[in-house]
Amino acid sequence: MPSLFRGAARASLAATLLLAACAKEIITPGAPAAAPSSGETATASALAATPGGTVNGVMLQGFYWDVPQTTGGQTWWQLLGSQAPELAAAGFTAVWLPPAYKGGSVFDVGYGVYDRYDLGEFNQKGTVATHYGTLAQLQSCIAALHGRGIQVYEDVVMNHLTSADAQEQFSYNGQNFNVYTSFTYPSRANKYSSYQWHYYNFNGTQQAPNNGWYRWNAWDFQPYAGGQAYDNLLGSEIRYADPNQVAETIKWGNWLTTTLSLDGYRLDATKHMLTSFVNTWLDNVKGSSGRFAVSEAWFANLADLQNYAAVTGGRTSLFDVPLHYTFQAMSSGNGAWDMRGLQFAGFTEANGALAVPFVDNHDTDTPGGLFSPVINFKMLAYAYLLTREKGYPCVFYKDYYTYGLGPQLKTLLSIRRANAYGASYEYTGVDDADYYAYSRTGDAAHKGLMLILNDGGGARTKGISSPFKNATLTDKTGNYGGSITTDGNGYGNFPVQARSWSVWVPN
């Protein structure tokens, strides 16, 4: 849940949260086949191991913010399970599931956590099913994904609880206050866990929307990163300075992993939780199992994200928030942005082994949340991250299905599987305000590629010394017809249509 939910944005979201849900924060070095031509610079980067244990893996964010309860008579779990064959055929190697546990109502999309042990099994908050369906449907969905060789990552929300069963009273400065902090789960009747939550298990709780906070324990940490990281985000804030809550949440994480046969985790709002707790949870739940973890630490500043990677000691990958804002700036520029800003961009280039680049997600695409969507040049952004040497890219469900980008994304996924191998090169002497070039040399079994992006209003062609000598290349995206040839030094003219992308591949 990004800490950019502050001020007006955070206030407007609070009302939505109470009605619907908790807001989501929201090596094989190579050498070029030919020396670059005069005035052109080609820079190689090291080939990083793909996170998630799959070569050229790609995860799908398998939901969006306003997912309907049913689609064509199917729950979300049933729909997603039915899509497993198509997703596997397209080239997705993992799916990130939404929070699977009971929220404050059937309308809660899982981030307004009520009972973390209720995966759609108990009649609580007026429903047995969660927003996405029942436990049995969830397990069938996971089995369908696993049956197609797709890993499953569950969204883990550990910062807070909401929608308590009853009020409790605490005293502060001689005054008594009633707060909704008693979580006893009478309908679950201690199945899976007898742990109950009371006001002393939290640092504080949110009052009615926009009315501030009640606090009786100190926040777990002081704000940092210019105030973007702070403890009190939403609901009743769990006190992880207390080892009892740490032990219970570790127990729950291991139970969840076993119950759902998880391959990994997406950790929500980690910059709002005590970092020592995040590290301890990862050590005791993910451990050395080989399971994957990626955390949402919503830092727009690259230095802040790098610092967070350091304090978490490489235990978790991180979403490349700075790169998202680079794409958003390209989108907002609508042709006026300087494409040289894509050179060596974001956390993906700075720390590729821990980077999960993305274009949009459930927060950035949703009015009332962050709402920083990439509208213009979205496919240029996807072409960039899906051909990149570094990082473990994530594709947004809504882009693939709702916005009709599926066919184009399938083409890029196919190119990634077939050609995105070998050392990479940034052509800093070729790029200009509209034209961006990037190559992969290929390896013994794969032919490599040349990516060309253009946000300008006219078609462009530039001469580049590519890694491909005496080669005939075609644009595998189909965006530019015909073929081009290179000479004995790999030099050729690489065109691209206006406001378009091309991936030139040796035949």
Q: Which of 75, 194, 57, 226 lies closest to 136, judged by CA?
A: 75
Helix (H, G, I), strand (E, B) or coil at 369: coil
Three-class HEC string of 188-207: CCCCCCCCCECHHHEEEEEC
Structure-block tokens of residue 59: 């995860």
Give me the average pLDDT of each 10-residue run along the chain (507 residues). Answer: 38 33 30 34 40 86 96 97 98 98 96 98 98 98 98 98 96 89 98 98 87 91 93 96 98 98 98 97 95 97 97 97 98 98 98 97 90 96 98 98 98 98 98 98 97 98 98 98 98 98 97
Starting at the earlier edge strand, list the strands of the sheet with 160-161: 160-161, 236-238, 202-206, 213-215
Candidate list 268, 320, 360, 363, residue with the active-site label: 268
Structure-block tokens of residue 361: 């997600």
| 268 catalytically annotated | yes
The DSSP secondary-structure symbol of 273 reads S
Residue 46 confidence (pLDDT): 32
Euclidean distance between the first and final Cα of the chain, in Å? 45
In this structure, the dihedral spanned by the alpha carbons of residues 227, 394, 53 and 150, taken in order and rounded to 10 degrees, is 130
| 40 catalytically annotated | no
Residue 53 confidence (pLDDT): 72
Cα-based distances in Å from 485 to 118, 138, 150, 480: 60, 51, 38, 14
User: Which is it for strands 175-182 and 113-115: parallel, antiparallel or unpaired?
Assistant: unpaired
Helix (H, G, I), strand (E, B) or coil at 492: strand
Which position has the token pair 């009605």? 19
Cα-based distances in Å from 313 to 276, 289, 297, 300: 11, 17, 14, 20
Q: Please say whether the beta carbons of 21 and 368 come within 8 A.
A: no
Entry field: residues in the chain: 507
Which helix (H) or strand (E) covers residue 252, if one does? helix 243-260
Structure-block tokens of residue 299: 């830092």
Structure-block tokens of residue 466: 């590519």
Residue 296 confidence (pLDDT): 98
Domains of the chain, CATH where assigned:
7-26+74-373 (3.20.20.80), 425-506 (2.60.40.1180)
Q: Does the global pTM surpass 0.85?
A: yes
Residue 50 confidence (pLDDT): 62
Q: Please say whether the beta carbons of 156 and 176 come within 8 A.
A: no
Q: Please say whether the beta carbons of 263 and 292 come within 8 A.
A: yes
Q: Which of 106, 103, 133 lies closest to 120, judged by CA?
A: 133
Candidate list 118, 296, 360, 431, residue with the active-site label: 296
Buried b or exposed e, range 326-364, using 16+ CB within 10 angstroms: bbbebbbbebebebebbeebbbbbbbbbbbbbbbbbbbb
Q: Break the chain down into helix, strand, coil percent, rounded to 5.
A: 30, 25, 45
Residue 414: which residues within 8 A CB-CB, separation 6 or more?
91, 476
Cα-based distances in Å from 21 to 82, 93, 102, 239, 491: 26, 29, 11, 21, 55
Distance between alpha carbon 278 and the CA centroid of its chain, in Å?
18
Q: How many degrees, rounded to 5, is the angle at CA 362 between CA 356 and CA 364?
A: 80
Beta-bridged to residue 9, according to DSSP, are none
Cα-based distances in Å from 445 to 92, 222, 391: 21, 52, 21
- Decide: residue 216, CB within 10 A, 0-12 exposed, 13-18 middle, 19+ buried: middle
Q: How many degrees, rounded to 5, is the angle at CA 395 between CA 393 and CA 398?
A: 165
Cα-based distances in Å from 264 to 21, 64, 338, 394: 24, 19, 37, 14
Residue 380 confidence (pLDDT): 98
Question: How far apart are the C-alpha atoms of 95 and 394, rounded to whole Å?
Answer: 9
Structure-block tokens of residue 468: 């491909």
Which position has the token pair 């807001």? 23
Which position has the token pair 């080239």? 91
